[in-house]
Copies of this chain bind each other. A is one copy, B any other.
Amino acid sequence: MVDQERAADVIARDLERRIITGELPDNSPLPAEKDLGQEYGASRTVIREVITALTNRGMLENRPRFRPVVKKPGFDAAFNTVGSIVQHLINAQEGVETLFQSRVFLERALVREAAIRAQSSDIRELRAALQANKEAIDSSEDFYKTDIEFHRVFYAIPGNPIFTSLHEAYTQWLAAHWVKMERSPERNARNYESHKAIFEAILDRDADAAESLLERHLEQAWEQVKGTFNV
């Protein structure tokens, strides 16, 4: 006894196909519900269901009362759709900690990789990010940005788009907790020093040192974030 499919599922599959193949171009608006209905011989009711389904899968972007916009999915879209779930999961301290620890784990590996395989262009990027970091020590908002940017470089080095998307996702998911962190020029300076130490370990091609420096750096950050829970 096979579950018979809903009309909406069939149409959704076909629309997905059309989006993937580019027949419906990225960033273009979807045809009107009425037209889609005619094309597929279905009622607006069904088309509407299709649209909400694809919206939640990240293949359409749908502001109320505007035409849905086609989004050809990339790995970043994938992580975006997860967003709402993760948001719920990290409401408990345990959730944030789990997420943060996974980040620490991955980033340790990324830093190690950087120490071993970073090319001169990567080094340049790191140096630039570090410099920007230094210059922003006295500006609490800017420092946050340059801080993130410095870490982002590590996610970019392997050249795998999944990691860059993942960095986006991590920073978004953890942002809420991060911004609550106390900021001060002194703290910023200490963070900058950590970054600098990591950078130098990478220049020395000392993977073990780089990794453990990063670990310590993130653990310190975590201690601060954790403080924001028990307020």
Contact = CB atoms under 8 A, between A and B. Distances in A.
Interface of A: 3-6, 8, 16, 20, 45, 48-49, 52-53, 55-59, 63-64, 73-75, 77-79, 81-82, 84-86, 88-89, 91, 98-99, 101-102, 105-106, 108-109, 112-113, 158, 160-163
A57 B56 contact: yes
Contacts of A108: 109
22 contacts: A8-B52, A16-B84, A16-B88, A52-B53, A53-B55, A56-B57, A57-B85, A59-B85, A73-B85, A73-B89, A74-B89, A75-B89, A77-B85, A81-B81, A81-B85, A98-B160, A98-B161, A98-B162, A101-B158, A102-B160, A105-B113, A106-B109
A163 B102 contact: yes
A5 B63 CA distance: 9
Given A6-B64, A16-B84, A48-B49, 13 more contacts: A53-B55, A57-B81, A73-B85, A74-B89, A78-B82, A78-B89, A81-B81, A99-B162, A101-B158, A105-B158, A105-B160, A106-B109, A109-B112
Contact of A63 (B3, B63, B64, B74): B3
Contacts of A55: 53
Contacts of A53: 52, 55-56
A61 to B, nearest CB: 12
Contacts of A160: 98, 101-102, 105
B49 A102 contact: no
Contacts of A79: 82
A209 to B, nearest CB: 15
B3 A162 contact: no
